A = this chain, B = another copy of it.
Amino acid sequence: MWIWCEWREVWNLRTKKQILRYLKKERSPWELINLVDSDLNEFVERLKELLEEGLVESINGKLYLTSKGEEERDRLNLRVYNTRCDRCEGRGIVKDPFGVLDEYKKITSNRPRPTAEYDQGYIKEEDVMRRIAFIYERGDLENNEIIVIGDDDLISLGMGLTELPKKIEVLEIDNRLIEYINRVAQEYGFSVHARRFDVREDLPEDLFKKFDVFITDPVETIEGITLFLSRAASGLKGKGSSGYFGLTHLEASLTKWREIEKRLLEMNFVITDMLRDFNVYPMKDNLEIAEKDYLIYRRIYELTGSERIDTDFYRSTLIRIEAIDEVRPIVSGKVELKDEIYVDDESLVTAKATRR
């Protein structure tokens, strides 16, 4: 029992500390989510405890430290410092090395709006360019054949604008996106081609072992991400091929992260880079897919009275993997999966309250 209690304390304390630290001034719960490292379930639990213990209070949806909370903050020696670079927004990578950001924004301005049907939601155009810049830096862009599985971010068109890859193949389930990508690609003369694909099916036969690089943003259930990464992996040539995908802390606990990492190693990948908070989802745009239907919105509203998501709180870590030998996808062949691809107990944004 003694050991169990000790673990428990370390585990909880980090999130509590980050909350108390950043409540140096009043903040909305959405701003706070942006500043802590934990997943959403843990965030809600810790915030609930702090409210119950009287260290934090909630007034009209804003959070404040009580005087008891201030004492605790001082006891724990918590202080606010600005650690992030303001020029590159803390990413280290500049947002427009190729000089195509304006054109890219023009291209994406009429994009199909995100739909809950396929759990869409896209990252900021600046971050798409940063992601491409990082892929470029690694030597994974020039003259390469690249497969993109699911492209509501429209990264295929951004890569097309750099004129660097040899060929980009997009697999998408959403016909609106397929048409949009193919139309723009034809208009601009990009080597980008999109076709319909359902992740429950195997890759089309002509795409097996044909690509140097994959890019995808999988759903974050264990079964779902294993499926996405297996399909993506089966498109890779082999040793030296690489893959890029996003993973959140918000909807994937670290226990889940560990299982995902284990499966990546099993597939003969090594993890080479993990860039925290590299991808930011602009809430203003993605909110079209029904703010009030987010499970997390309901839980935060009940806890704090916050009525509006006022911060781009949803962000993900960019992960790069590289094959060190023949790639061994965990899943192959057709699978039957329904909601369990998309939804588990940690899916507090992706899963819509209405769908549960």
Contacts and interface: CB of A to CB of B under 8 A. Distances in A.
Interface residues of A, number: 75
B17 A142 contact: yes
A94 B98 contact: no
Contacts of A241: 10
A78 B271 contact: no
Interface in A77-102: 77-79, 81-88, 90-94, 97-98
Contacts of A254: 270, 272, 322, 324
Interface in A153-197: 163-164, 166
A271 B275 contact: no
Interface string A198-221: 000000000001001000000000
B78 A98 contact: no
Given A265-B262, A324-B255, A85 B83 contact: no
Given A88-B87, A90-B93, A212-B10, A261 B255 contact: no
Contacts of A164: 77, 79
Interface string A250-273: 000011011001100100011111
Given A3-B326, A77-B143, A81-B133, 12 more contacts: A3-B238, A6-B209, A6-B237, A6-B238, A7-B326, A10-B240, A11-B239, A17-B139, A37-B138, A75-B143, A257-B272, A273-B276
